[in-house]
Structures are given as structure tokens and as C-alpha cells.
Structure 1
Amino acid sequence: RAVRSSCVGSVVGVHVRSNFSVAASNEGNAYPYELKWYSYSCGWLKSEEKDPTSFRENEKFIDELHAIIANHCQEDPELQLKAQNQGEGWVHVADKRKKVFPGRIPDPEDIFGSVSIENGEIIKDSYQRNHTHRLLTRDGPFKLPKHYLQSLDKKE
């Protein structure tokens, strides 16, 4: 039985944002709960504890998520603005689960990946996945920037 939340709340001990649900899992006794986002399986939980270290991420989902980001980051208006302002170097595709103040860099677990920029423009095919990003932290599940949500909606 799934529990769905349309606002920030708490389900199975983790903060849940809209379109996340927790349901019984088919992963056996070790991971009896599944964290779902829309129709996607993000991963599995061992228990009802609040500790995200009991969460096993779904690698297939993560790979698909990063493919979407890599394929659509050049058209991301927020990323384009960061690139124009910075000019050279790297800019991050940041998770929106926590507010980041201007001039600050998000925590590593809140950075999906980075893109290279030159002359204020995103370099094609430069997206580099950040392997320290976590789908679930003590601050709750990931929150994808709006631009990429539209791309996922088209896939479903």
C-alpha cells in the first residue's frame, strides 16, 4: 500500500516532497520498503528509521536520471545564466532539496553533476556526473530542477 504526499511531510521517517511515495517492496526482507518518485523506483529502505544510510539506491534509475540531465543541460535556463555570469570553468547542476545562498556551492551530496563552460557558454557533452550525489539525505529526497522534470514527463 503506497502512501503519497502532496506537500512536505514525513513518510516512513523521511521527509517527503510531492510525488514521492513509499510502498511495500519486492526486494525481500532486507529492503521491505520502496521509495517511488512518480512511477520511478528510486531505491529501497531497510526499515522505518529516519536514517538514509538504510537506503539502497536504484542504480538503473540513477543512470537514467543522469542521462536526462546530460542530454538536456545545455537548454537549462538557470545553468545558462550561471555560465554567462561565471564565464569560464565549471558550473554545477544542483539538487533543489536545500536552498543555496548566492555565491555558495551546494553540499557535494546535493550536486547532480557539473558542466564545463567557456566564454559564458556550456560546452556540449561536458556533463560530468557527481558520484557523491545522494537521492535521499537527512534533508529528504532529491528535488530535480524544473527544467529536467519536463524532460522526464516526456519520457513517461
Structure 2
Amino acid sequence: MFAVRTTGRLAWGSRRWIQLRGVSTLEGNSHIYVFPDEGASGSHILSLLPTEPANAALAIGITSKLPPTTDSLRENPKFLEILQEVFSKYAHEDPEAQSQAQVMVSTAGANLYSGGVLTGHNRRKNKRRADMGDSSGGASGQGGAGSAGRGGWIHISDSRRPPDFGRIAWPEDIFGSLEVDSEGHFVGGDGNYQSSGTYRTVTRDGILGLSPFLRAKLVQRLKELDQQ
């Protein structure tokens, strides 16, 4: 289902969703806007931009279902290219990535959550891991807990499924990685960002989830391109 950010009067409602005259957004993802796809009946364009008509060339993708699923969403390769361009330029400036870099080289150990990003304590249990076995690597695989003084790589990951303590995110949730030296500084000043090549926009755990900083930078870039 999807929620609607209202700019008008109530037209119809129920416990699960409401239809209002306004800008539609995905339920639980108020930053992702939903527009009807004029070229395909029953399909919807998903975008980080609220402007209408939606610019499909800059959209996240097109889905035949709401909420989108791994089978219903047709990803927009151009959007992912823009996302990686923005991350390559700004990921090292993300306060969450900077915190993660400092934790990685700390002799006090690390509290790594949300794909290696330092956040509050995460008590979520992942049923899929329990059912399928945890294939995500330990912190040592990213230079995390126990890597004090050595440096290594930290991962910029989707926030839809924070990994358990001391683990890194699943490959489908990792956007890319940044290189950190033994003092917790980004190598080369920008961390030599490397795209993972494994990220998926939608998984069984949800759709695109970005840190506030990187989402703002991505939206800014999309707006610039939309105005060209």
C-alpha cells in the first residue's frame, strides 16, 4: 500500500491506506514519491523528486505493484549511476561514515550497525538469517571490530536491514566502500570510494534507504539534472 501526503480534502479512507488529493508517497518511505505511469496502465513511477509530471529518466524505477517487490520493480540504471556518482563525491563527508571510520580504528572496539555505520544499539533479529544461515561477514572482513590501528575498508550500506553486532551488511545492501588509514582518516582525502556492484534497489526487506546526509545530496543532484 502507499500513503498520501495531503494537500487537499479527504476523499476516501481505511485503516491500511487513504486516498487524498495530494502527493502520494510510499508507506513507511515518505521521501519516495509515487506517480501513475502514463505509459503503462496500473504501473507507478517511484521518484525522490515530488515534481509532477515525474521525470522517468531520473526516477528510481517503475513498479507494477505497491509496495514494490523484487519482481515488480524495474530499476532505472541511470538513477543508480547518478547515485553512485553522488556517493563517490560525498560519501566520505557523511557524518555516519566518518563515525564508522573512527570506530574502526579505535582500540576500544566497535559498535557497528546499519551496514557498518555507527548508530544506536540494534536489537532487531533477522528471521531470514536464522532460516538461511548468516552469510554476511564478520567485522574483520571490513576492518571493523578488532582492526584497531590497521585501517581497511568501511561499507556504505542501505538502512533497510541493519546487520547484527560485529557483522557487515549483505552484498545486496552495500552501495560501496571507503578506504580508511590506520588513524581513521579517509585515504586520499575522499576514501577512494568503490562501488560494490552488488546493490539492489528492492529486496525482501524493503526499498532504498539512505542516510539523511546522502539522501539530501542525491536529491540536490537530481534537482539539478531535472532543471537542465
Fold similarity call, TM over 0.5: yes
Shift of 1:58: 0.6
Is the counterpart of residue 100 in structure 1 residue 163 in structure 2?
A: yes
Structure of higher RCO (CA pairs closer than 8 Å, 6+ residues apart): 1
Unaligned runs of 5+ in 2: 6-15, 18-25, 51-57, 106-150, 224-228
The two structures have a TM-score, normalised by structure 2, of: 0.56
- Return the alpha-carbon distance in structure 2 between the equivalents of residues 53 and 130 of structure 1: 22
Structure 1 equivalent of residue 59 of structure 2? 41
Deviations 1:3-50 (A, max 9, x none): 6546xx88xxx8641122332224546x83222223451001244586
Matching residue within 117, 121, 130 for 2:180: 117
User: Are 1:84 and 2:102 counterparts?
Assistant: yes
* In 2: Cα distance, 1:144 partner to 1:90 partner: 19
| Cα deviation, residue 135, structure 1 | 1.2
Q: Does 1:32 align with 2:98?
A: no
Structure number with the higher strand fraction is: 1
After superposition, the Cα gap between the structure-2 partners of 1:126 and 1:26, relative to the gap in structure 1 and judged at 3 Å, is farther
Structure exhibiting the larger radius of gyration computed from Cα positions: 2
* Cα distance change, pair 41–82 in 1 and its aligned pair in 2 (3 A): same
- How far has the Cα of 1:51 moved from its partner? 3.4
Distance 1:55 1:99 in 2: 22
**Offset from partner CA, 1:87-112 (integer Å, 9 cap, x none):** 31110001111233331211111111
Q: Structure 1: where are the runs of 5+ without partners?
A: none
Q: Which runs of 4+ in 1 moved over 6 A?
A: none
* 8 Å contact from structure 2 (residues 159, 210) kept in 1: yes
Query: Structure 1 pair 19/68, CA: closer, same or farther in 2 (3 Å)?
Result: same
Identity, in percent, stands at 30
2:158 matched to 1:146? no
Partner of 2:32: 20
Q: Is the 8 A contact 2:49 2:219 kept in 1?
A: no
TM-score normalised by the chain length of structure 1: 0.78
